[in-house]
Amino acid sequence: MTDSRMERDDRGHLVAVPARVRRVVSLVPSLTEAVAATRRDVLVGATEWCSHPADLAVTRVRGTKNPDLDTIRRLRPDVVLANFEENRESDLGALRAAGIAVWTTVVRSVGEALTSLDRMLTLACRLPRPAWLDEAERAWAVPVTQARRRAVIPVWRRPWMVVGRDTFTGDVLARLGVDNVFGRHGERYPKIPIAEILAARPELAVLPDEPYRFTADDGPESFPGVDAALVSGRHLTWYGPSLTEARRVLADQLGLQGADG
């Protein structure tokens, strides 16, 4: 790769990034939206799960956990964008072995998201820092003034799986005044039987519409006597341009006064 400079991604890997990046493949929906909102024309490939923007016309490379490596190679990307949680290291290693620059992000909190997005866009994609990122920082800088609530955040059922320790989702809710009852669990996404979930005595069940699509008829009935809130999974779990409005949207859906700044 000519005219490249070595940069360290969030995992500390040295990545040879060209001085000008013209072709980007993203393997994470949040990162796809972030690049598209900054400079759409550099995106040449994305996963089938990359649904924002809705009119994004790029080559699809299957999913986050089973990317089509041959298609990615044929796209000749200057850099492939990935995430330590969303993508398998075996796939990323195969791309590196093929001589492709892979930039891996690490996001476990709102603060990490804002820093990681800035580094990814400016270092890995060689783009100027976008105005939407400044807007997102301002949106999340306001402290919460309301009383706190204890919540469980299921992300799957059959079996039940909930948000545990060190997650972006948990930090988003904490910044809204909602404390995760399983926030100190040894696992990040533990499988926990519903009886054990109820025994933790949450005041609130936060039910997103992804990855499992909880609805009014599928989810709240499992939490008798507990307030249940159906929320936007994109605003709860995505780290990208959605951060500019996530605080306001989630505070409204959760019925939280004083949490939206």
Task: List Cα–Cα distances, 32 to 38, 44, 138, 159, in angstroms.
Answer: 10, 10, 22, 30
CA 6, 7, 9, 11 dihedral sign is positive
Contacts of residue 76, Cβ cutoff 8 Å, sequence gap at least 6: 23
Locate the domains of the chain by residue range. Answer: 4-129, 149-254
Question: To the nearest 5 percent, what fractions of the chain are helix, strand and coil?
Answer: 35, 20, 45
Given a cut of 90, is residue 45 above it in pLDDT?
yes
Report d(CA 52, CA 234) in Å as an integer.
Answer: 10
Q: What are 142-167's pLDDT values in tens digits? A: 888 778 999 999 999 999 999 999 99
pLDDT of 46-63, one tens digit each? 999 999 999 999 999 999
φ, ψ (nearest 5 deg) of residue 151: -135, 155
Average pLDDT estimate for 91-97: 98
Fold identical between 4-129 and 149-254? yes
Q: List, in order, residues 6 or more apart from 97 with CB less than 8 Å away.
A: none
Place of tokens 């820092």: 129
What architecture is the 4-129 domain classified under in CATH? Answer: 3-Layer(aba) Sandwich (3.40)
C-alpha 128 chain-centroid distance: 21
Q: What is the pLDDT of residue 144?
A: 80
CB atoms within 10 A of CB 216: 10
Rounded to two decimals, the pTM is 0.93
- CATH architecture assigned to 149-254: 3-Layer(aba) Sandwich (3.40)
